């Protein structure tokens, strides 16, 4: 992998990740952009005294790009007469600071990850080599962001589909560098601490062992990864992907796990697109890496894993977070986890 770091016209960082070592990336961003405020003054973190969590206030995001025509996509490579966020005429993987960040300056950092220069493909349509390069980019960004004093936790994720709220059709994901430990992760760390105190064992190890022993909810197994629908799945179709050797974050994966990951992950994404049968539009989903936060007690107890889920509960119907879910945080799942796992096994690639 070759990494090339440069800057955009307004001072934001842009990083190219190429599979070939001899690629030269020297195209300049010629757009007349105003410099981005260095202090991150457009983003503010506010603390909720009742719930104890934090909320990012970022009103400038109201002006972000919204469903542009394909020939005006800001994530496609630049061409003559049409300049984009990517100055070069082509790329393998590109990462840049978000122009409309939820977190910036002392409040953290937001980045956009473009998985490919091909506007019309999805992550599931990438080759294994392309998916492996994305994994390298996620890992490298985690390592770099871990060095920033204002970043406590790194979250790599992809939103796919208009139903999820995606406003740009180009295949891409995002990376958030939070200045705090997120509520979801805090919950996991508390549960892991309590489990260790009660049993003397690691919670993540026991969850994976339980699913493997039960077997009903296992969707896909590799030598180094296992994917299963969790016992208490929140979403209609939800899969958790764990490395068999527990590690706290992407940086700690060994070479064998990195090599196998594209095979397992691409198969999962392709199965997701087949859940609801032929002729159905692509399945909307959220794919989220859960990594241990930095410089916090209990970090060594955390288990890196990826959570993949869709808000579509059946053909033509979505799972809405209504009264119980949004008002009280209590999920009601319409699809039994065992039935979801069975369906995901049925749609395996031939």
In the prediction, which pLDDT does 266 show? 98
* pLDDT > 60? residue 43: yes
* pLDDT > 50? residue 336: yes
Report the pLDDT averaged over residues 91-110: 94
Please write the tens of the pLDDT for every residue from 52-64.
Answer: 888 888 876 655 5
Report the pLDDT averaged over residues 325-337: 95
Catalytic site residues? 172
In the prediction, which pLDDT does 66 show? 46
Distance, CA of 1 to CA of 21 (rounded, Å): 7
Opening angle at CA 123, ends 118 and 124, nearest 5: 115
In the prediction, which pLDDT does 39 show? 60
Report the pLDDT averaged over residues 273-283: 92
Please write the tens of the pLDDT for every residue from 124-165.
Answer: 999 999 999 999 999 999 999 999 999 999 999 999 999 998
Report the pLDDT averaged over residues 71-85: 92
Contacts of 7 (CB under 8 A, 6+ apart): 13, 14, 29
Please give the residue that has the higher pLDDT: either 10 or 36: 10
Please write the tens of the pLDDT for every residue from 254-270.
Answer: 999 999 999 999 999 99
Report the pLDDT averaged over residues 221-246: 98
Upper half-sphere CA count for residue 94 (Cβ side, 13 Å): 28
Report the pLDDT averaged over residues 188-203: 98
Residue percentage of the chain with pLDDT more than 90: 85
- In the chain, what are the domains? 2-180 (3.30.428.10), 184-346 (3.30.428.10)
Please give the residue that has the higher pLDDT: either 72 or 350: 72
In the prediction, which pLDDT does 144 show? 98
Distance, CA of 146 to CA of 148 (rounded, Å): 6
Residue percentage of the chain with pLDDT more than 70: 96
Distance, CA of 87 to CA of 153 (rounded, Å): 30
Report the pLDDT averaged over residues 219-224: 98
Q: Which pTM was predicted?
A: 0.94
Please give the residue that has the higher pLDDT: either 39 or 127: 127
- Give the C-alpha distances (Å, rounded to integers) separating 282 from 57, 162, 173: 32, 10, 17
In the prediction, which pLDDT does 58 show? 81
Please give the residue that has the higher pLDDT: either 71 or 11: 11
* CB count in 10 Å sphere of residue 190: 11
Q: What single string gives the DSSP state of each residue in 208-277?
A: HHHHHHH-TTEEEE-SSEEEE--TT-SSSEEEEEEESS--SSGGG--HHHHHHHHHHHHHHHHHHTTTT-
Instruction: Read off the tokens for 314.
Output: 């059946």
C-alpha dihedral sign at 298, 299, 305, 311: positive
């Amino acid at each position: 992998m070759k990494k090339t770091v440069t800057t955009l016209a307004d001072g934001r960082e842009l990083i190219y990740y190429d599979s070939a070592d001899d690629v030269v990336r020297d195209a300049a961003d010629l757009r007349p952009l105003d410099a981005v405020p260095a202090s991150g003054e457009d983003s503010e973190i506010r603390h909720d005294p009742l719930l104890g969590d934090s909320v990012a206030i970022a009103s400038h995001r109201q002006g972000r790009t919204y469903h542009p025509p394909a020939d005006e996509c800001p994530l496609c490579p630049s061409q003559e007469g049409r300049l984009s966020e990517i100055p070069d005429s082509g790329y393998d993987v590109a990462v840049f600071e978000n122009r409309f960040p939820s977190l910036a300056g002392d409040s953290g950092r937001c980045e956009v990850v473009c998985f490919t220069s091909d506007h019309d493909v999805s992550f599931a349509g990438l080759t294994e080599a392309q998916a492996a390069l994305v994994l390298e980019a996620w890992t490298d960004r985690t390592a770099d962001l871990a060095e920033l004093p204002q970043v406590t936790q790194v979250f790599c994720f992809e939103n796919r589909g208009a139903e999820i709220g995606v406003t740009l059709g180009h295949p891409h994901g995002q990376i958030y560098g939070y200045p705090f430990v997120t509520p979801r992760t805090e919950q996991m760390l508390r549960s892991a601490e309590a489990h260790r105190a009660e049993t003397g064992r690691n919670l993540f190890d026991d969850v994976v062992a339980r699913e493997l022993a039960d077997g009903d909810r296992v969707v896909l197994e590799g030598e180094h990864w296992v994917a299963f629908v969790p016992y208490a799945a929140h979403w209609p179709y939800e899969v958790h992907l764990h490395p068999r050797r527990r590690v706290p974050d992407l940086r700690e994966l060994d070479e064998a796990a990195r090599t196998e990951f594209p095979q397992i992950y691409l198969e999962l994404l392709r199965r997701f697109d087949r859940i609801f049968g032929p002729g159905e539009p692509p399945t909307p989903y959220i794919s989220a890496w859960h990594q241990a936060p930095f410089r916090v007690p209990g970090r060594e107890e955390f288990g890196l894993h990826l959570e993949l889920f869709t808000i579509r509960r059946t053909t033509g119907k979505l799972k809405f977070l209504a009264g119980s879910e949004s008002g009280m945080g209590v999920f009601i799942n319409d699809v039994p986890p065992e039935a979801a796992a069975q369906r995901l096994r049925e749609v395996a690639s031939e």
